[in-house]
Amino acid sequence: MTIDEIIAGKNPEALPDGHFIDGRFRRASDARMMESYDPGRAEAFASFTNGTADDVDEAVDSARRAFSGVWRDVAPAERGRILFRAAALLREEGERFAVIESLDSGKPLSEARGDVRGAARAFEYYAGATDKLQGDSFPLARGYLGFSLHEPMGVSAQIIPWNFPISTAARSIAPALAAGCAVVAKPAEQTPFTALLLAELLSRAGLPNGVCNVVTGTGAATGAPLVAHPGIDQITFTGSVATGQSVMRSAADHVTRLVLELGGKSPVIVLADCDREAAITGVLGAIFENAGQICSAGSRLVIERSIHDDFVAELVKRAEAFRIGHGLRDPDFGPLNSKAHLQKVSGFVDAARKRGVTVLTGGETTCDPESGKGWFYKPTIIDDAAATDDLVREEIFGPVLTVQIAEDAAHALALANDCRYGLVAGVYTSNIANALKLARDIDAGQIFINEYFAGGIELPFGGNKLSGFGREKGIEGMLSYSKTKSIAIKL
Ligand code: NAI
Ligand code: MG
């Protein structure tokens, strides 16, 4: 089937419409179905199951059985071999995953391809780590020995958002499996398909039945019973602050450990001595990649006054030249993920316009020029925004960049830290000492110097303040799925 046929409305393949439980797709005969939309043309293209608490019970039971009956006894090196095979399969079948990811989420095909490669990379990284999570030994008095073990937590519940469906699923499923945990994942109701396909792929890679289960459905019907389930030992949640708080409250009932990744309002500091071209490209990518629907988007440009006018004029010129279109046509810039989200983003800007903010470009909805359809919002740049304005303070999660003007590096730091979030930050300067001072003093979980989004699965990722707690990626990400046991012996 060609991309044009898919854009015209043909379902790309028979997509699964049931949960993936105990190694196979299953749909209850009385299942309540929902539809997933293609944001590029604002039309439904495939249906899936809105799971119930009973479905969640089944998935958790399946994971519990697989954890204690099979998976925790599989040698770490063998776990690694299975994860390596999954990574290889994901690379082989990458195009199929990328097309479905682009169609379901709206993101440009090249970005979806990058996400799938990143997902495969996460499986490779943690495949190589399965047999390297070593314990420690401790200096006790003569006559004693003390050492520690890392044991798998058990069953991990993973709540996945719609902005990076396959990569968020991979970055939590891979380390959980590597650490010896079983998983029940719930993808977002806007983008359920690639997580289902990933679970099926893991099965073909040799993962025993029940070790990785996926239940689909809304947050209320499926997500809430999953995170409240007494059979869950650990929760990884990525999404909004409000939902994260409700997940945290629910986790408190069973004292379930959790990792919360709750988004941000990340600053990109651009100092006068930066490499101008690198900074312009970096700032545009930071806010307009995936149409700004990135928890770590660089949504606040903090720029030194002496270069502001020329720099911002160039940003506007390039943002206006973006090719906008359906994700599968691989444009520079795709749609927002849902109608509700489009309304949320435009509501933010409309309210700000009434307050008199300067909208340099964008600030309105648009559509796919080929079809006249879709949920698009133009790349938007707001100049000289006050630190107290809602546009600067709230996570918009869309293609809206606010510009704040700084007198010098110290002022830039103060503006950057004047924020309730602390996920990531970018710094552009050719003075490495200044860059490192800013990196030290910015309150965020990850700092990118001279290339926004630099790094990969090797680097711990996660937030401070309202952005959450716990770290994903890196070896630290795997430790989120293990618990330390220390053992003391009298000789
Ligand atoms: P959300 O936080 O409600 O949804 C994220 C995930 O949580 C979805 O899978 C959803 O089904 C699930 N969920 C919802 N309620 C739940 C509950 N009570 N228990 C368990 N799981 C539940 O976010 P939503 O409504 O999709 O987007 C709202 C805003 O959240 C966005 O505008 C954006 O600002 C932020 N967001 C941040 C993300 C990030 O990467 N940190 C990702 C998605 C959204
Ligand atoms: Mg969709």
- Cβ contacts of 23-28, under 8 Å, gap ≥ 24: 23/203, 23/208, 23/209, 23/210, 24/209, 25/196, 25/200, 28/54, 28/55
Taking a 5 Å cut-off on Cβ, the residues next to ion ligand 2 are 36-37, 104, 190-191
| Residues pairing with 158 in the sheet | 185, 236
Calculate mean pLDDT across residues 86-101.
98
Nearest-CA residue for ligand 1 atom 37 is 239
Q: Are 382 and 400 in contact (CB under 8 A)?
A: yes
Give pLDDT tens digits for 122-137.
999 999 999 999 999 9
On whether both 134 and 271 belong to a single domain, the answer is no
The pair of structure tokens assigned to 146 is: 């003390």
Q: Tell me whether residue 320 is in a domain.
A: yes
Statement to judge: residues 226 and 273 lie in one domain: no
Same domain, 43 and 132: yes
The preferred substitution site among 184, 397, 464 for testing ligand 1, maximizing ligand atoms within 8 Å of CB, is 397
* Domain boundaries, position 58: 3-262+468-487
Q: Is residue 398 part of a domain?
A: yes
Query: Same domain, yes or no, for 239 and 272?
Result: no
Which residue has its alpha carbon closest to ligand 1 atom 28?
Answer: 240
Q: How many angstroms separate the alpha carbon of residue 46 from the centre of ligand 2?
A: 9
Strand 137-138's sheet: what is its strand order?
Answer: 137-138, 144-152, 482-490
Give the C-alpha distances (Å, rounded to integers) separating 352 from 312, 363, 370, 392, 416.
19, 10, 31, 10, 21
Phi and psi angles of residue 423, each rounded to the nearest 5 degrees, phi first: -85, -70
3-class SS of residue 403: strand
Is 64 part of a structural domain of the chain? yes
Q: What is the pLDDT of residue 89?
A: 98
The amino acid at 87: A
- Residue carrying structure tokens 């046991």: 485
Check whether residue 297 and residue 220 sit in a common domain: no
Establish whether 261 is a catalytic residue: yes
- Same domain? For 287 and 347 the reply is yes
pLDDT at 86 over 80: yes
**For residue 462, is it within any domain?**
no
Please choose, from the candidates 200, 211, 206, 197, the residue with its C-alpha nearest in 3D space to the C-alpha of residue 165. 197
- For residue 67, what are the contacts with CB-CB under 8 A and spacing of at least 6? 152, 154, 155, 181, 182, 211
Distance between Cα 295 and ligand 2 center (Å): 18
pLDDT (mean) for 370-393: 97
Active site residue 295: yes
Q: State the pLDDT at residue 423.
A: 98
Query: Using one digit for the tens of pLDDT, what is the confidence trace for 247-303?
Result: 999 999 999 999 999 989 999 999 999 999 999 999 999 999 999 999 999 999 999
Percent pLDDT > 70 in the chain is: 100
Q: Say yes or no: 273 and 258 in one domain.
A: no
Inside any domain, residue 472: yes
Which residue out of 181, 274, 295, 367 is catalytically annotated? 295
Which pLDDT score is estimated for 445? Answer: 98
Determine contact, residues 325/372, Cβ cutoff 8 Å. no
Active-site residue identified among 58, 111, 189, 261: 261
pLDDT for 12 equals 78
Residue whose C-alpha is closest to residue 217's, from 200, 197, 196: 196
pLDDT value at residue 359: 97
Does residue 11 have a pLDDT over 80?
no
Question: What pLDDT is attached to residue 112?
Answer: 98
At 49 the pLDDT is 97
Residues 319 and 237 placed together within one structural domain of the fold? no
Find the 304 Cα to ligand 2 centroid distance in Å. Answer: 40
Per-residue model confidence (pLDDT) at position 13: 77
More confident residue, 5 or 398: 398
Which tokens in the block code for residue 286? 């930071």
CATH code where residue 313 lies: 3.40.309.10
Q: Which residue has the higher pLDDT, 9 or 447?
A: 447
Confidence category of residue 6, pLDDT binned at 50, 70, 90: confident
Q: DSSP 3-state assignment of 182?
A: strand
Q: How far apart are CA 338 and CA 348, in angstroms?
A: 16
Residue, of 12 and 236, whose pLDDT is higher:
236
- Closest-CA residue, ligand 1 atom 13, reads 219
Q: Is 328 left (phi over 0), alpha (psi -120 to 50) or beta?
A: alpha
Tell me, in angstroms, the distance from the centre of ligand 1 to residue 21's CA.
Answer: 23
What domain count does the chain have? 2
Residue with tokens 């930066």: 274
pLDDT one-digit tens code per residue, 472-481: 999 999 999 9
What does the alpha-carbon distance between residue 274 and residue 311 come to, in Å, rounded to a whole number? 11
Indicate whether 461 belongs to any domain.
Answer: no
The pLDDT of residue 2 is: 81
Average pLDDT (201-227) is 98
Protein residue with least CA distance to atom 14, ligand 1:
219
Is the pLDDT at 27 greater than 90? The verdict is: no
Same domain, 29 and 106: yes
pLDDT tens sequence across 38-77: 999 999 999 999 999 999 999 999 999 999 999 999 999 9
Give per-residue burial for 398-433: e unless 16+ CB within 10 Å, then b.
bbbbbbbbbeebeebbebbeebebbbbbbbbbeeee
Q: Indicate the SS3 state at residue 404.
A: strand
Q: Which residues of 461-481 are buried (b: 16+ CB within 10 A; e: fewer)?
A: bbbebbbbbbbbbbeebbbbb
Provide the pLDDT for residue 30: 79
pLDDT at site 335: 98
To 10 degrees, the CA torsion angle through 69, 73, 77, 83? Answer: 20
> What residues form DSSP beta bridges with 361?
381
Q: What is the atom index within ligand 1 of the atom nearest the CA of 242? A: 2
Residue 274 in any domain: the answer is: yes
State the pLDDT at residue 158. 98
Three-state DSSP class for residue 419? coil
The share of the chain scoring above pLDDT 90, in percent, equals 96
* Residues 379 and 327 reside in one and the same domain: yes
What pLDDT band is residue 152 in, cutting at 50, 70 and 90? very high
Residue 236 · residue 159 · CB < 8 Å: yes
Residues 414 and 433 grouped into a single domain? yes
Closest ligand 1 atom to 294 CA: 40
Residue with tokens 């030194």: 304
- What's 86's domain CATH number? 3.40.605.10
Residues 167 and 297 in one domain: no
Q: Report the chain's mean pLDDT, rounded to a whole number.
A: 97
User: Is the per-residue pLDDT at 28 higher than 80?
Assistant: no
Minimal-distance CA residue to ligand 1 atom 22: 219
Q: What are phi and psi of 131, to 5 degrees?
A: -105, 25
